Amino acid sequence: MTHLSRSGGQILVDALRIHGVDTAFGVPGESYLDVLNALHDSNIEFIINRQEGGAAFMAEAYGKMTGKPGICFVTRGPGATNAAIGVHTAYQDSTPMILFIGQVGLDFMDREAFQEIDYRRMYGQMAKWVTQIDRAERIPEYIARAFQIATSGRPGPVVLALPEDMLIEMKAVADTGAYQAVQASPAAAQIDQLRTMLAAAKRPLLLLGGATWNAQACSDVKRFAEANRLPVACAFRFQDLFDNAHPQYIGDVGIGINPKLAARVREADLIIAFGPRLGEMTTSGYSLIEAPLPRQRLVHIHPDPQELGSVYQAELMIASGAPQGAGMLAHMDPVDSSAWAGSANQARAELAAWQQQPPIFQDGAAPLDLWQLVRDLQAAVPADTIITNGAGNYATWAHRFYSYGPMRTQLAPTSGAMGYGVPAGIAAKIVDPARTVVTFAGDGEFMMNGQELATAVQYRAGVIIIVFNNGMFGTIRMHQEKNYPGRVSGTGLHNPDFAALAVAYGASGEVVETTAAFAPALARALEHTRSTSLPALIELRYDGNLITPGATLDAIRAAAQKAQQ
């Protein structure tokens, strides 16, 4: 306990240290100069970004990687509005994060002073908790609560506004202790009930997803799956919760799902959904698992009691964090699994078939075979490589053909936010410089936060960025052709020379247009990032007609035109 007088900014930075903060992201503003001043003498690394959207995404990716709240500092009004995309993503993805916003002084508050916003209203729907700290002596209390809320139950973002004059108040105030994330555990009777339901099943399926996982929980759930010979699928963009090379891994339940896997989900007689919210993307628009009353028997395990029963009326609802639930399941007496003994094998064969080279690339049909590219990538990088992406059809190549290793090897927004991949990749490299990080980005995607390449160069974050340049906002073009065939509107892109742009930033840049050119270019990029710790960009230029592994734009348009006749 200290009785020395400290400024609000100093009390805040001291509190961050107490809660274990080592890194923060942000864009400076005159509204929080006293925090910047306190950071000057702290051992917190403050990563300066080039746009608050990039900063908020980096903080979110930090939260995903570490399980600790990602910290982001932005200025009022314009800074706070730019940061919103990262807060929304943290909310949808259940990621612990704290956004600090420099705020108008209390002396001018509520006059719509310069850049003033009421953040409680602005962020009300996107954050777990939004408030403003009006008294410097209460900073330790507010910060401790922010960390509790961001990490406990279903994790998520907290937003704290910091009035400028409050930050320069001098106060003698005691610090708090460090936060403790609180998670519920299953009751023994609930595990018994789960066991009874599993013992009665013929076609059970374990579906993993959501937040609060750690390496121990992943290993515990593996033990449970192995002991009961369960086929294991992962929810949309949670593909790294179960080693994809494991013989019981059967694929991801997300956008563009393997139709055979979709049928298995639909026809399962018991789904143990451990962790996921079971959102629109995971359920194929609430069709694989119907809401509110699923046809399958459903066990839903989720950290938030408020989530349970809110969309799905599961037969058994268990409020539990992943480590707590997995720990108990690992010790559950296994059931007789002879009824489904071969099902993981069969489903695994269906996954292997789904991951074969698609017909549109067979026999050298395209100069650049994106399927072979993923094979080449997989062969060249270590198993613990982190793959990041945002939204766009290019992400399909990673999701469907890349085999994700152990947790955390996938950083991808379940919110479907474009612009996530580049900052997430840079954050991953900053958090764990020893690991290889590869970002998949569309040409549209890259331009939404490509400016953060400057941040990567400044902090020597040697991420490899693969830009999929098809000259269009391809996902939207695909939907256009399906719904308004031949009427291309608002989806074409005239792009800069991405490789030259990368070089201008201080990264390396190469253009690849043929299958054979990719592996050597990747080898050079890996060598460049290793020897210089600087980023490398590979721009893939390819025919935009190759819109998905399964169909060309021409085929989609022709089918839509036929259907409309």
Nearer to Mg ion, 405 or 442 (CB): 442
Amino acid at 474: G
Residue 34 contact, options Mg ion, ligand TPP, none, Cβ 5-8 Å cut-off depending on partner type: none
Residues 520, 492: contact at Cβ < 8 Å? no
322, 212 Cβ separation under 8 angstroms: yes
**Pairing assessment for the beta strands 5-7 and 170-172 based on DSSP bridges:** antiparallel
Which of residues 166 and 465 has its CB atom nearest to ligand TPP in the complex? 465
CB of 473 to ligand TPP, least distance (A): 4
Classified as helix, coil or strand, 495 is: coil
Token pair listed for 80 = 């706070």
Q: Which does 450 bind (CB under 5 to 8 A by kind): ligand TPP, Mg ion, none?
A: none
Residue 417 binds: one of ligand TPP, Mg ion, none (C-beta under 5 to 8 A by kind): ligand TPP
302/211 Cα distance (integer angstroms): 9
Q: Which is nearer to Mg ion, 69 or 444 (CB)?
A: 444
Which residues lie near Mg ion (CB under 5 A)? Answer: 442-444, 470, 474
On the CB side of 562, how many CA atoms lie within 13 Å of its CA? 6
Q: Is 418 a residue that touches ligand TPP (CB under 6 A)?
A: yes
Per CB under 6 A, does 53 bind ligand TPP? no
Minimum CB distance to ligand TPP smaller for 213 or for 401: 401
Distance CA 26, CA 415 (A): 21
Question: Shortest gap between Cβ of 88 and ligand TPP (angstroms)?
Answer: 10
Question: Which listed option, Mg ion, ligand TPP, none, makes contact with residue 510 (CB within 5 to 8 Å by class)?
Answer: none
Give 385 or 475: the residue with its C-beta nearer to ligand TPP.
Answer: 475
Angstrom distance (rounded) from CA 430 to CA 70: 13
Nearest to 401 by CA among 244, 213, 248, 290: 244
Q: Does 394 bind ligand TPP (CB under 6 A)?
A: yes
Are 221 and 274 spatial neighbours (Cβ–Cβ below 8 Å)? yes
Q: Could you tell which of ligand TPP, Mg ion, none binds residue 517, using a CB distance below 5 to 8 A set by kind?
A: none
Nearer CB in complex with ligand TPP: 274/394: 394
CA distances from 472 to 90, 283, 501 (A): 27, 28, 18
**Smallest distance, Mg ion to C-beta of residue 392, A:** 6
- Asked whether position 376 contacts ligand TPP by CB under 6 A, the answer is no
Nearest residue (CB) to ligand TPP, 418 versus 538? 418
Token output for 314: 């599961």
Which parts of 437-496 interact with ligand TPP (CB under 6 A)?
442-445, 468, 470, 472-476
What are the backbone angles phi and psi of residue 268, rounded to the nearest 5°? -60, 145
- From the number of C-beta atoms within 10 Å of its C-beta (0-12, 13-18, 19+), residue 477 rates as buried
295: preceding bond cis by omega (within 30 degrees): no
What track of x and - describes contact with ligand TPP for positions 503 through 522 (by CB under 6 A)? --------------------
Q: Whose CA is closest to 392, among 353, 355, 425, 421?
A: 421
By the rule CB under 6 A, 100 interacts with ligand TPP: no
Q: Which of 419, 425, 485, 535 binds ligand TPP (CB under 6 A)?
A: 419
Residue 452 structure tokens? 């953060």
Indicate the residue among 251 and 444 with the shorter CB distance to ligand TPP. Answer: 444
How many residues interact with ligand TPP (rule CB under 6 A)? 19
CB 410 to ligand TPP: min, Å: 18
- In a 3-state reduction of DSSP, which class is residue 391? coil
**Least distance (Å) between residue 364 CB and Mg ion:** 23
Question: By the criterion CB under 6 A, which residues form the site for ligand TPP?
Answer: 391-394, 416-419, 442-445, 468, 470, 472-476
